[in-house]
């Protein structure tokens, strides 16, 4: 005899009704802890960031939601908008969000009554039409003739969520869906920054290629000049070989720079969800590295509220906390109500009048499970502790990224300013060395040194400008920008021909 049978036999009908209604009154209870978001004060978050940017002179109001527009580069804006629409990581994250929302709808349905129905029509052909329905069994008794019998029925079941196990499941599913949405937003922010960083790399490779080719042309002229002077007996073959070595070294750097450009452009195409080469025509025309203004460093608490990866970790923590209640509810009794109706008749109108129905209430409760339930509770509490540590780690990572981005932006600005002076001085020194060498005032080694210094300073100045642009992009991302106005993609390519969005229904 089951626990349900023992309870049904030991209680009088009135007592059973009282127990059922008493348990229903407990349905406002929720097993497990009530979740509260972690307090900022408990996370030991500093009041302000240590790094203090020295860019106040050009700080402006930048819309972090679309930070790329502050670069005032229409090609960059176009690329990022295309990435939001076509990136496959974003599409996969959107699919996981739809999956989580579908799971939430299914979990919410567990709290509702489950209803099923059945119907059938049977026809027999005989010599006469004498037939009747046995009132006791509901079976059709036919003595011949043509007879049509209609049968119909339905059944209903509902589990009363007395101790909140289902409600905790709904809370966990809702928090998981919100975590999936936050993960999608973080993916979008990451993709926007990746497109921006690779775009800067592509423009830097173009500029470095131009610098290398211009220096190669100048070194060709120098090599030709030294060749004439050697033929005239004015210089030795040592000067000629040194000039030839510098020219070959510069020429050897060009294939590497061409490869750097191809890698950056191909990666941009993949970030857009397209094959390599899809954006070459758009980016191939050379252009300068775009720059954007800096922003004031907000307080750390504002960054934590804005970062989608921190929000995802917090929602995952909420889901794990709710699952403690799901496991705890297994310790308590469960009440299940069920009912059914079935009828048959030779006419549709008589099916209900000839039908029979019943209503059953059952109570089940665990007595001995070998410690499995309590072990599951302990395991879920450990999972919640791990989720809390993951949330704290996400907060610390966010603060670290902002600190590094602020410092990186500051250092990039200072370095760019110093290298601009260095290039100006190296360029002037190279002009003086060329004039003095032609006049015989300096030796060829001085000219070679000035050419090397000019090439190095020019290349470093371009790299410093790119580092400043990249540091700005990393700062915008670290501050939690780049996702607020991004669209949520619809169904992906696998089901695109079936229009899954319009085929969803709200019942079964």
Q: What residue spans define the domains of the chain?
A: 53-110+163-335+383-491
The more confident residue out of 400 and 29 is: 400
Q: How confident is the model at residue 507 (pLDDT cuts 50, 70, 90)?
A: low
Element (DSSP H or E) covering residue 362? strand 356-364
User: Closest Cα to residue 77, out of 63, 91, 56?
Assistant: 63
DSSP assignment string, 5-48:
HHHHHHS-HHHHHHHHHHHHHGGG---SPPP-PPPGGGGT--SS
Better-scored residue on pLDDT, 499 or 108: 108
Q: Taking a C-beta distance cutoff of 8 angstroms, is the pair 465, 289 a contact? A: yes
Q: What pLDDT does residue 353 have? A: 67
Decide: residue 439, CB within 10 A, 0-12 exposed, 13-18 middle, 19+ buried.
exposed
Of the pLDDT bands very low, low, confident and very high (cuts 50, 70, 90), residue 2 is: very low
| CATH code matching the domain that covers 53-110+163-335+383-491, chosen among 3.40.50.300, 1.20.1600.10, 1.20.140.10, 1.20.20.10 | 1.20.1600.10
What confidence score (pLDDT) does residue 144 get? 53
* Cα gap 174→185, rounded to integer Å: 17
Q: On the CB side of 426, how many CA atoms lie within 13 Å of its CA?
A: 20
Range with top average pLDDT, 112-116, 357-361, 388-392, 499-503: 388-392
Lowest mean pLDDT among 9-23, 24-38, 318-332, 393-407: 9-23
Helix (H/G/I), strand (E/B), else coil: 385? helix
- Side-chain-side CA neighbours of 147 within 13 Å: the count stands at 20
Q: Which residue(s) pair with 356 in the sheet?
A: 342
Looking up tokens 């090599």 gives 223
* pLDDT score of 21 more than 70: no
User: What pLDDT is stored for residue 233 in this prediction?
Assistant: 81
pLDDT number for residue 196? 96
Give Cα 408 to chain centroid, integer Å: 25
Q: What is the pLDDT of residue 494?
A: 65
- In whole angstroms, give the CA distance from residue 86 to residue 189: 14
Residue 127, pLDDT > 60, answer: no
pLDDT at 131 over 50: yes
Judged on CB neighbours under 10 Å (0-12, 13-18, 19+), 501 is exposed
CB 413 within 8 A of CB 469: no
């032609």: which residue's tokens? 438
pLDDT digits (tens, 9 = 90+) for 190-238: 999 999 999 999 999 999 999 999 889 988 888 888 888 788 887 778 8
Question: Residue 339's pLDDT is what?
Answer: 75
Q: CB of 123 within 8 A of CB of 210?
A: no
**pTM value?**
0.81
Adjacent-strand bridge partners of 344: 151
């Amino acid at each position: 005899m089951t626990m349900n049978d023992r309870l049904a036999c030991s209680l009088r009908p009135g007592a059973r009704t009282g127990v059922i209604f008493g348990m229903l009154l407990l349905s406002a209870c929720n097993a497990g802890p009530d979740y509260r978001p972690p307090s900022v004060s408990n996370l030991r978050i500093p009041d302000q960031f240590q790094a203090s940017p020295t860019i106040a002179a050009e700080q402006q109001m930048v819309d972090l939601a679309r930070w790329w527009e502050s670069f005032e580069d229409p090609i960059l804006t176009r690329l990022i908008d295309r990435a939001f629409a076509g990136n496959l990581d974003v599409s996969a994250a959107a699919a996981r969000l739809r999956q989580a929302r579908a799971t939430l709808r299914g979990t919410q349905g567990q709290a509702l009554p489950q209803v099923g129905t059945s119907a059938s029509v049977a026809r027999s052909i005989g010599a006469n039409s004498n037939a009747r329905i046995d009132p006791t069994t509901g079976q059709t008794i036919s003595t011949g003739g043509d007879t049509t019998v209609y049968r119909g029925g339905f059944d209903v079941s509902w589990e009363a969520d007395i101790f909140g196990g289902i409600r905790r499941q709904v809370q966990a599913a809702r928090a998981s869906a919100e975590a999936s949405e936050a993960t999608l937003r973080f993916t979008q922010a990451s993709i926007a920054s990746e497109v921006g960083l690779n775009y800067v790399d592509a423009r830097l490779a173009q500029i470095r290629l131009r610098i290398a080719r211009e220096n190669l042309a100048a070194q060709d002229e120098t090599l030709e000049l030294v060749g004439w002077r050697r033929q005239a007996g004015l210089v030795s073959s040592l000067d000629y070989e040194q000039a030839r070595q510098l020219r070959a070294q510069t020429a050897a750097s060009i294939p590497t720079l061409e490869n750097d450009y191809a890698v950056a452009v191909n990666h941009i195409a993949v970030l857009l969800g397209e094959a390599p080469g899809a954006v070459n025509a758009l980016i191939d025309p050379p252009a300068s590295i775009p720059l954007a203004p800096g922003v004031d460093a907000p307080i750390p608490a504002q960054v934590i509220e804005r970062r989608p990866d921190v929000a995802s970790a917090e929602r995952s923590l909420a889901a794990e906390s709710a699952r403690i209640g799901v496991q705890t509810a297994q310790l308590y009794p469960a009440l299940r109500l069920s009912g059914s109706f079935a009828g048959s008749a030779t006419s549709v109108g008589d099916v209900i009048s000839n039908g029979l129905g019943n209503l059953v209430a059952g109570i089940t409760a665990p007595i001995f499970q070998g410690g499995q339930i309590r072990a599951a509770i302990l395991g879920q509490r450990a999972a919640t502790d791990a989720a809390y540590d993951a949330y704290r780690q996400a907060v610390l990572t966010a603060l670290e990224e902002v600190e590094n981005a602020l410092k990186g932006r500051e250092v990039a600005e200072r370095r760019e300013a110093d290298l601009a002076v260095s290039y100006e001085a190296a360029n002037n020194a190279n002009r003086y060395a060329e004039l003095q060498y032609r006049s015989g005032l300096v030796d060829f080694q001085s000219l070679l040194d000035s050419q090397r210094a000019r090439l190095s300073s020019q290349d470093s100045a371009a790299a410093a400008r790119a580092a400043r642009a990249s540091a700005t992009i990393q700062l915008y991302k670290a501050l939690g920008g780049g996702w607020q106005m991004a669209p949520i993609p619809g169904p992906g390519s696998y089901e695109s021909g079936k229009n899954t969005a319009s085929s969803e229904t709200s019942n079964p």
